[in-house]
Structure 1
């Protein structure tokens, strides 16, 4: 078969170009450290590397979300720590105010200290993150959650939402708690609260309530002890009323009142000392029905301390108000502490998720490295092979180029 000189040139040039291309490809691999430069180098490996890269990027985004969540929760926890300290100080002042040797001026001084705590508590309830976003406003984070209305009462202007962040594949975590759940709520397990209207005219002082039988049919109902003199015997009696019934219904017959004796009703136990008068009432209410607004409860005890003590009835009214406030503050403190514990638990969970995410990221990195990183020993060997092949192609082309019959004609 006759082979034209042009064909020899074309074949030689194609061979050199092919070897140069292969050598350039190996040089690019060595320069980038990557085995796969284009999908055509390894279609299956390139596809797997793309999937792993995307998974790694998502994992990194989860890590960023966890960092933001931890920042938000840390700020909330710091504020809640301050709230707990403030409420504990309030409890100390309430107990101090019950000292029977205090004068009206002394109690006014305690009321002033409680007012400072009230203002401090209001400031903490409107804490922000330093960028104008309020911690306890729910979704309404651009406006202060708590403000005083026209009558001077503190009202909540936020909502009950919780801002969620996707911190892992199957975990959306709330990164805040709304102010209504913190400052205007109590736990479902909170203790009963005893209280008496300021209109009471007797000297009856109630003790703290103890739960003796939570299985009692009346347990969980709002009850009251209504005092009245028996028209026949002339003895003071109390009638238990179930205020949860509609209309309120009497529970059993009236019972003779004995100063300081224990009273058991609805799975509850308490005692009352002193001399109640006709029309006096002692309310026994589940915590959720006995005033859960920490600001309103604190304002009530401040107002009570500002009232002068003239009669023994005035002293009994104050003692009852302080007892009620002490129980309400204890319930509020338990509620804040529960939220505080929840925040701490979420931060611990973030730490655990960070560990898992870090390990997952290392696995992705290792897998990606195995798929696309270059084996330098093999690449250098191939590089020298390609280089030798190119040199051989060039030399053979030069020899073929010299094959010319005209140089033999004289």
Structure 2
């Protein structure tokens, strides 16, 4: 069988071209470091690699979201710690104000210090994240949440929670609204006692104690009134229900609704005292501080026992309210810390998953350099041999043998 010169050239060129293509492909693989250059090279492996790459990209996005959430929570934690420090200082000032040796000028000085603390607390409550977004404003984060007006410090934000997607099935609130932080108390907060604004006697109440949480009227608000040397304790229901009555004896406990309170001094006829749950006694810490400042500025000179009793009762009420507010902020700090711990745990898990995905992706698409170099050398040798054979055959002619 004879092969024409044209066919010989065509077949030889096709063979060398094919080998050159294969050699070039190995060169590209070595340069790219991957087993396949296009999805067509290995559709199944390419699909698997795409899935793993998407998983890694999602993980990286969640990691970025967790980083932003951690920053926001860290800023809130810093602000709340400042708030607790200010409140603790206020509690110290209240203890100092109860010193009977202080003069009106001394108490006025304490009122000025307390006012400064109040201003600091408002500034903390209006803290922003450095980008003009206020931490405690809820969804209304573009404006300061607490604004001072004639009625005191008003909350202008809302109770919206700014949620961030930090994992596939987990959204987390990265802020807390100002009302739940500075104008709320915990459910376990006890009763708060306060004196009526129009009292004229020298009656002073002590702390409210719990005696029986299963009592019929426990959990209700109460009013204690005095008349003719007797006391009457009534609920604030409509109509009110008498919870206890009896002759008033100084320093003797008055029991009602599973509670107990001691009174000292001499309440005048018509004097009243409220014993209300913490939620109903007023939960706005700014209002409580403002009321305390007003009492400290009021001179005691010439007021007698009634003025002194007013001061002591106001201090007792303030101490309970500022303690409740302080405890509430501490609880929010604890919540912030728990969320930060969760973010750390999610980051740890994500890092482990990322390493697994990276190893899996490498297994799918990374080239074995040793095997690729060996193949490259084999194909290079084969191509050279083909070229040399073609050259030798091309030079064969009958005239060379005459």
- TM-score for the superposition, normalised by structure 1: 0.94
Q: CA deviation at 1:385?
A: 1.1
Is it true that 1:285 corresponds to 2:276 in the alignment?
yes
Q: CA deviation at 1:152?
A: 4.2
CA distance in 2, matches of 1:170, 1:96: 52
Q: CA deviation at 1:213?
A: 1.6
Structure-2 change in CA distance of 1:9 and 1:119 (3 Å): same
1:199 match: 198
- TM-score for the superposition, normalised by structure 2: 0.96
1:382 match: 375
Structure 2, gaps ≥5 residues long: none
Q: CA deviation at 1:249?
A: 2.5
Q: CA deviation at 1:251?
A: 2.5
CA distance in 1, matches of 2:75, 2:396: 86
1:211 match: 210
3-state SS of 1:78 partner: helix
Structure-2 change in CA distance of 1:217 and 1:8 (3 Å): farther
Is it true that 1:250 corresponds to 2:250 in the alignment?
no
Asked if 1 retains the 8 angstrom alpha-carbon contact of 2:52 and 2:357, the reply is: yes
Q: CA deviation at 1:43?
A: 1.7
In the TM superposition, what whole-angstrom CA distance separates every residue of 1:351-381 from its partner, at most 9, and x where no partner exists? 1111111111111111111111111111011
CA distance in 2, matches of 1:204, 1:404: 134
In the TM superposition, what whole-angstrom CA distance separates every residue of 1:74-100 from its partner, at most 9, and x where no partner exists? 111111111000000000101111111
Aligned alpha-carbon RMSD (Å): 1.5
3-state SS of 1:122 partner: helix
Q: CA deviation at 1:219?
A: 1.5
CA distance in 2, matches of 1:246, 1:401: 118
1:232 match: none
1:323 match: 316
In the TM superposition, what whole-angstrom CA distance separates every residue of 1:323-374 from its partner, at most 9, and x where no partner exists? 0000000000000000011111111221111111111111111111111111
Structure 1, gaps ≥5 residues long: 230-235
Give the paired residue count.
Answer: 400
1:356 match: 349
Asked if 2 retains the 8 angstrom alpha-carbon contact of 1:8 and 1:400, the reply is: no
Asked if 2 retains the 8 angstrom alpha-carbon contact of 1:304 and 1:318, the reply is: yes
Asked if 1 retains the 8 angstrom alpha-carbon contact of 2:205 and 2:261, the reply is: yes
Asked if 1 retains the 8 angstrom alpha-carbon contact of 2:182 and 2:284, the reply is: yes
CA distance in 2, matches of 1:212, 1:55: 59
Q: CA deviation at 1:306?
A: 1.1
* Equivalent residue in structure 1 for 2:291, among 290, 297, 300: 300
Is it true that 1:261 corresponds to 2:260 in the alignment?
no
User: 1:31-42 counterparts in 2 under 5 A?
Assistant: 31-42=31-42
CA distance in 2, matches of 1:271, 1:21: 100
CA distance in 2, matches of 1:284, 1:408: 127
Q: CA deviation at 1:401?
A: 2.9
1:104 match: 104
Is it true that 1:66 corresponds to 2:90 in the alignment?
no
Q: CA deviation at 1:396?
A: 2.9
3-state SS of 1:289 partner: coil
CA distance in 1, matches of 2:255, 2:387: 110
CA distance in 2, matches of 1:194, 1:307: 21
3-state SS of 1:88 partner: helix
Q: CA deviation at 1:57?
A: 0.8
Asked if 1 retains the 8 angstrom alpha-carbon contact of 2:283 and 2:325, the reply is: yes
